[in-house]
Every structure is written in structure tokens, then in C-alpha cells.
Structure 1
Amino acid sequence: MRIFHLSHTDLDGYGAQFVSKFYLDNILFFNSNYGKEIDDKFEQILSLVQPKDLVLITDLNLTLQQCEAYEMKLKEKDVKIILLDHHQSGLECAKKYAWYFLDNSRCATSITHDFLAEIYGKDEKLHKFSKVVNAVDIWLNDESEFELGKVCLGLVSNAKEINKIMFDEKSREFIFYILEKSQEFFDKQNAHIALDNATHFIKKEFFKKEKDDTLSNLISTFIVDMLSQNRAKFEIGYEDKKGILTYNIGNTSVIGNDFLVANPDMDFFIDVTSRKTLSFRANGNANVSLMAKNLVGGGGHVNASGGLYNGFKDGYRYEVIKAQIVDLIAKKTQEKEMKDER
């Protein structure tokens, strides 16, 4: 039996997965914010499940329509579903569906911990972790763990160094690493201050491979390595040139240049963002100012240009994002060829 664990994208959502990772084997993780993304992630899960698998949903409340649809589709595949949540907005669903467990007195991490600890046995370290998350998630500001919980909340919300759309598993691994390391401070004096002071070094330890460097440089090297290892997935073409497409990669100038230096056979680097902007980078092998002009009416320098793609629709999966840029290139290339023939 495999377990497909879908959870929210905040401390409580990842915290619930951190707990299930401790207790369970053969588990695949998915994270979603609210809205259409939940349905998108469910469809991904549905395409992977097999009979006797289990879908576990935490820290996400569903609508009645979603409950009905999910139950029906999973029943057809002989797959069980359990939902553990604490949002009062799910009360109507909890009354109708036996698999929908709701308890608004505890956060999802605490519910998940107590549920699994009852089956597999209590772990004191993990119990403390669930109390820290609970204190901040349901805002128990008189609890001793509250300030520590606030620091952990910030650790997860600010863990944007690895883009989760492009590198979903690695992004989650990074967050789990931070949560694991945070536990080392729980019993220290002024634990919240000690953890806050150590945050920079915790992140550096994750990204550091051999020699030390600034956090920014370590992150750039790490991301460039990830892009290089998976370049076939990100590769796109433009006329007789080849490059890669990233999404919300951040620090485009540094990462784009570092990638092109590490991959001299690649001609250009494009980053598209949720704000519809396109950033183009080259290292002497392509004129990206012309590329930006032809594709989106943008421009700039030969090796660094930009533009706005008004038709871009943000998405939850890299494949959907890449398809839009590939279609744009195909359309504009065809238009240019027809114009040149006249």
C-alpha cells in the first residue's frame, strides 16, 4: 500500500507531513494552497493511485462538491481516503462523510501526530514539535511554545530558496530539513531567539557541499546544479538556438549567467514569473534583445533583456507553464517566417 499525503503549504501543512514522514513508509507528498490548486493536485494523485492505496489529506478543508467527487473517483479505483483538519468551515463536510475528521481545538499537525501516535506509539520529540506548531497555528499566545512557533512559522513561509513548482521534492526536502534542525533548539534557554539566530547557518548547511561561501552564492550553485542535472526537462528551442526555461527562479542575473557558464552548449536562459514578466539572459551565444522583441515586444541588451507576456496564465505545474512559452515561440517564429517571405 502506498500513501499519498496532500497537505497545505504553511507550517501546519508541512508539519503534518513531517509527522507522517516519521511514522509511515512508502509515502508520496503533495502540497497545495486553496482554490483550484487542490483539484489540480488531486488529479495528479488520481493518475498515480492503485487499488488498496490511501489518500491522506491534512490542513485543507474541502467543499461538499469536492468531497463527493473525490470519494466517487477514489471508490472506483478501490482507494481509501482520510482527511484530518481543524478548519470550522469544513463542518458540513465532516457531518456528511465518515472519512472527514474535524477538530477545531487542535491544528492539523497535532491531529496527525495524535492520530498516528495512537497507532504507532508516542515520540516525545515529535510530540513537542506538534505542540510548537499548535501554539502558533491556532494562536495560543499564552503557551510557552508560542514564540518558538512564530519563528518556525517564519522559517517555512520564508523558505523560498528552492522553487517548489520546478523542484517540488527538493523544496519539500529543504523544508523538512529546516524543521528537523529546529527541533535541536526546542529545549534551549530562550529557544526562539537561539533558533532565530541560527537560521542563516541552518540554511547554509543545507546548501553547502564542499567549501563555504555566502548563502547567496551557495544557493546559486545549488540551483545551477539542479538545473544542469535536469536540463532535458527545462530545455526549449528558439530558431537555431537552445536554452532553458525557468519559473520564478529568483536572482535571474546571477543564476542565469552561472548556468550558461556551467553549460556552454546552451545559448540562452529565460525565466517567466507569475507577474507575467520574462527575463532573458545570454552569454555571447545569442542576442536575447532580439528574442525579447520578437516574442513579447520587449528588449534590452544583447545578453540581458526583458519583456511582459500579457497572455501568460499562471499555473501549478511546470509542464503547463512551459507549454505556454513553447506555444508562444512557435507562433512568433511562424509569424516572423511568413513576414520574411513577403
Structure 2
Amino acid sequence: MKIYHLSHTDLDGYACQYIVNFYFKNVKFYNSNYGKEINENFISILNDIEKDGENEALILISDLNLTLTQCEEFEKTCKEKGIKLLLLDHHQSGFECMQKYEWYLLDSSRCAAKIVYDFFSKICFKDENLERFVRVVNAVDIWLKDDEYFELGKVFLGLIANAKEINRVMFQRENVFYMFFLLERARKFIEKEDAHILLDNAVHFIKKDYFLMKKPDDTLANLLSYFIVEKLSLMKEEFVLYYDNHKGILTSNIGNTSIIGNDFLVQNPDFDFFIDVSSRKTLSFRANGKIDVSLMAKKLVGGGGHKNASGGLFVGFKESANYKFIKAQIVDLIKAKELKKESENV
């Protein structure tokens, strides 16, 4: 049976997945905030199950509470498709759902990671080191100030909250395993004296260690740019975009747009422009002499700037955790402007 694991985007959520990854290897991971993102991810999971041709599949949801409507829809769909469904959570707001659905397991006295660990350790086996890790997460997630692991838990919390280096929308798989790497390294500090201080001091170097696997020592920004550009180059046909007979790439919340955009265009001369759309509805345009992106920004969103670096605001943009939906909005914007131009020329 293959597990499709959807979890929250904080320490507790990634810790749940870290635990599941410890016990099982045939797993695909997805991450979501609350609301529509859960539905978007559920659809993505269903598509992946169909694409994978899985006869036996389990959709595992952790550290996320559903609405009654979502429960009803998910249960109906899973029954129709022969998919098993299990939710392990600790948010009291899901109490009504727990009372109605037997697959909805809720316990507000423990963090979700502890619920997941307790559940699977009974099925598989207990692990003393993993259990200590769970205690750290539990101490901070349900705010046990007097717990011996509370201060260390706060550093764990910040470590994951500030791990923005790898975009989870663009690079879903890489993002999850980056979080696993950070948690694995952080675990090594648990039994050390003044562990919270030592870990806090080490965070920058732990992050660098991950990206040093790809390149000799450099600044974190340069290491990250190398990593992201390499990933974009390998996956570029998934992100390709066309405008006025020019070929470009579209990213979402990629960060360091000037560095990454320029590096990508230098290493991929078959591409003429680079666009990044942010959750703030801003579009960042970059070029390398093949197209004037100031004119492009002006025509698309009334923006402007320089020939090789411009920006603008896409007022109608709707943020999403699904890259395909994000790309569709930009494609539609370009088509709409092209149709307007054609009608004006008639």
C-alpha cells in the first residue's frame, strides 16, 4: 500500500511526515495551510494516485483539521475510488468531525507529531531516539513551558518556520526532504548541554551544509542560487511560458529574483525572460538582452522599470498552492493582452 501524506506547513506538520518517513518508504508527501489549499492538495493527491496506478492507497492527513463539508466530500470520493482515508490531528476545532467520522482521530492533549508517533509505533516498533524528538516537538507545539525540552523546541520551531530556501510550490519534493534534513541535523543536539543555544548558533551552518552537497563553499545566497537554478534547469519545460514569440520561465515566490533570474538566463540561453509572481500579487521580470521586459511589464500589468529588470502588480492574481493554477492565470493574462492587441489592430 502506498501512502499519500498531507500535513501542515509548520514544525508539527513536517515532524509528522518525518516520523512517517522513518517507518515507511513508499510515501509521497504534500503540505498545506488551511482552507482551499487542503482541497487543492486533495485533488493533486487523487491525480497522483491515478497516475501512479495504485490499486491500494492510503491518504493520510495530519496536523490539519477539516470542515464537515470537506469530510463529506473526501469520504465520498475515497469510497468511490477504493482509497483508504485516515486523519490524525489535535485541533479542538475538528471535534464535530471526529464525532461523525470514524477515520477522523482527534486528541487535543498531544501535538499531531506525538499522535502520529504513538499510532505508528504501536503498529511497527518504538524508537527511543525518535521518541525524544517527538517530546521536543510536543513541548513547544502545545506550549509546555516547564518541560525540559521547551526552549530547544522553540529553536526547532524557528528553524522550520524560517526555512524558506526551497519553495514548496515549485519544488514540493525537494522542500519536504530539505525539512527532513534540518530536523535530522537538529535532533543531534537534543541531549547536549545548552542544546537550545548550540542549535541556535548552528542554524546557518546546518543550512549551508545541505547546499554544500552540490557546490564548494560559498555564501548561502550563492549556494542557494546554484541549487535553485540547477533544479529549474532540469524542470524548465514544466515552467515554460511564451510571450510575443519569446520563450520564458515562470516561477512563484522563488526569492532572490535578481540573482536566480540572471543566473538561470545565463545558463539557459534558449530562454529569453524570467518572471516570478509573488503572493503579494507582484510580478518581477528579468531578461538578458533578448527582450525589453520594461515594455513587457507595461503591456501586461501597467508596470515598468529597466530593459532587463522590471516589475508590476497583477491585481487580479489569486494565490494558490498549486503551480498549474498559478501558471494558468499568467497564461490567461498574456492571451487576454494579445487578443486586445489584435482587436485594436483590426
Common topology (TM > 0.5)? yes
1:99 is matched with which residue?
103
Using the TM superposition, name which of 212-221 and 88-97 deviates more: 88-97
* CA shift for structure 1 position 52: 2.9
Q: Give the 3-state SS of the residue equivalent to 1:279 in structure 2.
A: strand
1:11 is matched with which residue?
11
2:115 is matched with which residue?
111
The residue identity in structure 1 corresponding to 2:26 is N
**Percent pairwise identity:** 61
How is 1:298-309 mapped onto 2 (pairs within 5 angstroms)? 298-309=303-314
Using the TM superposition, name which of 328-337 and 97-106 deviates more: 328-337
How is 1:32-111 mapped onto 2 (pairs within 5 angstroms)? 32-49=32-49, 50-111=54-115
* CA shift for structure 1 position 51: 4.0
Q: Give the 3-state SS of the residue equivalent to 2:48 in structure 1.
A: coil
Q: Give the 3-state SS of the residue equivalent to 1:83 in structure 2.
A: strand
* CA shift for structure 1 position 287: 0.6
Are 1:238 and 1:329, in contact at CA under 8 Å, matched by a contact in 2? yes
The answer to whether residue 131 in structure 2 is matched with residue 127 in structure 1 is: yes
In the alignment, structure 2 segments of 5+ residues that lack a partner are: none
The residue identity in structure 2 corresponding to 1:290 is L
**1:202-249 Cα shifts (integer Å, max 9, x gaps):** 100111123100001101111111111111011111112111111111
CA distance in 2, matches of 1:191, 1:185: 5
The residue identity in structure 2 corresponding to 1:34 is Y
The residue identity in structure 2 corresponding to 1:269 is F
Q: Give the 3-state SS of the residue equivalent to 1:57 in structure 2.
A: strand
CA distance in 1, matches of 2:343, 2:99: 62
* CA shift for structure 1 position 41: 1.2
In the alignment, structure 1 segments of 5+ residues that lack a partner are: none
1:159 is matched with which residue?
163
CA distance in 2, matches of 1:232, 1:191: 44
1:326 is matched with which residue?
331
* CA shift for structure 1 position 4: 1.1
Are 1:244 and 1:268, in contact at CA under 8 Å, matched by a contact in 2? yes
1:284 is matched with which residue?
289
Are 2:215 and 2:223, in contact at CA under 8 Å, matched by a contact in 1? no
Are 1:61 and 1:89, in contact at CA under 8 Å, matched by a contact in 2? yes
Are 1:280 and 1:288, in contact at CA under 8 Å, matched by a contact in 2? yes
- Aligned CA RMSD, in angstroms, stands at 1.2
The residue identity in structure 2 corresponding to 1:295 is L
Moved over 6 A (4+): none
Q: How many aligned positions are there?
A: 341
The answer to whether residue 154 in structure 2 is matched with residue 150 in structure 1 is: yes
**1:230-273 Cα shifts (integer Å, max 9, x gaps):** 11011111112111111111111111111111112211111111
The answer to whether residue 275 in structure 2 is matched with residue 270 in structure 1 is: yes
